[in-house]
Amino acid sequence: MIQKSTLIDWITIYAQEISTNKEQLTALDAAIGDADHGINMDRGFTEVMQRMPSLREQDIGSFFKGVGMTLLSKVGGASGPLYGTLFLRMGMASGGKEELSLTELAAQLSAGVDGIRQRGSARPGDKTMIDALAPAIAALQEAADAGQETCQALEAAAAAAEAGMKATIPMQASKGRASYLGPRSIGHQDPGATSAWLLIKAAAQAACSAQ
């Protein structure tokens, strides 16, 4: 089972990763957007960490909902509402639990990614965070169905997210700001797919150090 403390570690590690990679995410967005993705994400997760003392006292559902609401209220741009929706939907799918099975975590992430797809109407191949998240969820579900340990399953999901992120380089963007560039968006890695890979990698790190 995945304990609530591991999920708290996940978000804490991710907040650190975002802060460490803030400039890189912003540089990626400078190439095909408006140079604020790292700034947006860091603003949101700095606020999440400020609220962590009260968030961590809540059950898993309320914890994720609190993370989502914080991102929705603090982060501008496309990524705030989209990542906000991911965590809000995860929270709605988790109820009042204090621990999750790997299958439950995979189902929640899947519900969260469905929320992003509904809100942003991006499909795989549009050069967005979906290109990292969708293969990660598929790999996670496959690993969960195969009865793998949480650490290995999330490492497989992180590898799939990384491959999906790299696959955005040759894509032409058809959603978000990068789509305004048309064919000039080709040849650049999508910033949101990069922050999405960091998210799944942080989950693997939290789970693997908890075992």
Summarize as ranges the residues that interact with ligand ADP (CB under 6 A). Answer: 29, 33-34, 36-37, 40, 77-79, 82, 116, 120, 122, 128-130, 175-177, 190-193
The residue range among 8-16, 35-43, 89-97, 179-187 that interacts with Mg ion, by the rule CB under 5 A, is 35-43
Please tell me whether residue 38 binds Mg ion under the rule CB under 5 A.
no
- Whole-angstrom Cα distance, residue 205 to residue 116? 24
Query: Using CA of residue 76, residue 21, residue 149, residue 138, what is the dihedral sign?
Result: positive
Query: Could you say which of Mg ion, ligand ADP, none residue 79 binds, taking C-beta under 5 to 8 angstroms by partner kind?
Result: ligand ADP
One of 9, 17, 29, 126 touching Mg ion (CB under 5 A): 29
End-to-end CA distance of the chain: 10
The torsion angles phi and psi of 70, rounded to 5 degrees, stand at: -60, -45
Look at residues 145, 138, 8, 134 and name the one whose alpha carbon lies nearest to residue 66. 8
Burial class, 8, CB count within 10 angstroms (exposed 0-12 / middle 13-18 / buried 19+): middle
**Residue whose CB is less far from ligand ADP, 102 or 157:** 157
One of 14, 22, 33, 188 touching Mg ion (CB under 5 A): 33
**Residue whose CB is less far from Mg ion, 8 or 30:** 30
Nearest distance in Å: CB 194, ligand ADP = 8
